[in-house]
């Protein structure tokens, strides 16, 4: 196990093979972290079941992989550690944490970014089998809880640690789409995101006096590879989304500054915080988007 007295700080980011997770990992590396990156897609071109289409689930390969994210992390000067992690496989979660601790001896920041994508994500209530609700709850709620439990003991031993949950307004509101039209989100996504929202505040109340900081980080509508490839049929327009780097810049600010720590237990709107603080020179702030895009995908 690495010597914790001299080791760089370490982050573990789930769902880091592409999109927001990739940007989070790169931003943390730029801020001086070594980054363990977890996902199912280890190598470019691998086919995994991901988003639904109006005709069923899609298994075509998406751009991105842990290999490509690792290269970007290392370009920023951080060490990268790709770990296979499937949110529906509880054993893989514990193995991922053990792998990081065995290699680097610590996890200072856990970013629960990954979530379930696949059948049931966009399906209407009467079209969604019960087992798909189980998948949403396992991947979007129980997996982050299990990962948090796994990393907390060594955080508490050091007296400091950060839990950042990528959240969604889908957990706080109903879809805004006309009846009978595609779009919105299914019950599984909305209820699982709503449940995840409770974690940060409870961690602050129970463990804040022991150096644990927890946040709900809402990306807003972000233009990712999956949005561009999968979600046009549901009214998503990747051209109006913020770049993923916006979210990454706010994450790095949260876990490296006293001002960020002061927001312990709260909900942070990444796009507005990025614009308020001027964290990304190339981006001036949230642009006006269609009502559907504004409330669709939030993580």
pTM (two decimals): 0.85
Does residue 165 sit in helix, strand or coil?
Answer: strand
What pLDDT score was predicted for residue 140?
94
3-state secondary structure 82-122: EEECCCCCHHHHHHHHHHHHHHHCCCCEEEECCCCCCCCCC
Backbone angles phi and psi of 48, in degrees to 5: -130, 145
Between helices 198-207 and 187-196, what is the axis angle to 10°? 10
For 186-202, the pLDDT digits (tens) are 888 888 899 999 999 99
Q: How far is CA 262 from CA 59, 204, 232, 268, in A?
A: 42, 11, 39, 12
Structural domains present in the chain: 10-295 (3.40.50.720)
What pLDDT score was predicted for residue 170?
79
| Cα separation, 136 vs 189, whole angstroms | 6
- DSSP-derived pairing of the beta strands 52-53 and 56-57: antiparallel
For 112-149, the pLDDT digits (tens) are 999 888 776 777 788 888 988 999 999 999 999 999 99
Maximal CA-CA distance, the chain: 59
**Is 29:119 a contact under the CB 8 Å cutoff?**
no
What pLDDT score was predicted for residue 64?
75
Would you place residue 234 in the very low, low, confident or very high pLDDT band (cuts 50, 70, 90)?
Answer: low
**Is 111:164 a contact under the CB 8 Å cutoff?**
yes
Q: Which of 201, 69, 85, 186 is nearest to 143 (CA)?
A: 85
For 23-60, the pLDDT digits (tens) are 999 999 999 999 999 998 898 655 556 555 444 565 66
């Amino acid at each position: 196990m690495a010597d914790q007295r001299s080791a760089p700080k370490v982050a573990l980011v789930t769902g880091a093979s592409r999109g927001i997770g990739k940007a989070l990992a790169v931003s943390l590396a730029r801020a001086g972290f070594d980054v363990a990156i977890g996902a199912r897609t280890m190598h470019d071109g691998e086919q995994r079941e991901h988003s639904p289409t109006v005709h069923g689930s899609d298994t075509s390969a998406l751009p991105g992989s842990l290999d490509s994210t690792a290269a970007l992390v290392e370009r920023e000067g951080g060490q990268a550690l790709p770990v296979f992690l499937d949110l529906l496989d509880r054993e893989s979660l514990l193995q991922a944490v053990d792998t990081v601790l065995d290699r680097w001896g610590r996890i200072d920041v856990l970013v629960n970014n990954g979530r379930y994508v696949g059948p049931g994500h966009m399906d209407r209530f009467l079209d969604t089998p019960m087992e798909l609700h189980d998948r949403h709850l396992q991947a979007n709620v129980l997996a982050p809880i299990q990962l948090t439990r796994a990393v907390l003991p060594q955080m508490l031993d050091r007296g400091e640690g950060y839990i950042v949950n990528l959240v969604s307004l889908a957990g706080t509101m109903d879809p805004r789409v006309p009846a009978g039209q595609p779009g919105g989100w299914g019950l599984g996504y909305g209820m699982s995101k709503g449940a995840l929202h409770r974690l940060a505040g409870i961690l602050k109340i129970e463990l804040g006096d022991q150096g644990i900081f927890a946040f709900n980080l809402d990306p807003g509508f972000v233009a990712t590879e999956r949005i561009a490839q999968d979600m046009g049929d549901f009214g998503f327009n990747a051209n109006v989304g913020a770049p993923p780097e916006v979210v990454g810049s706010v994450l790095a600010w949260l876990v490296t500054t006293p001002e960020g720590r002061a927001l312990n237990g709260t909900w942070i709107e990444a796009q507005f915080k990025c614009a308020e603080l001027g964290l990304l020179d190339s981006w001036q702030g949230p642009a006006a988007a269609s009502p559907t895009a504004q409330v669709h995908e939030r993580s």
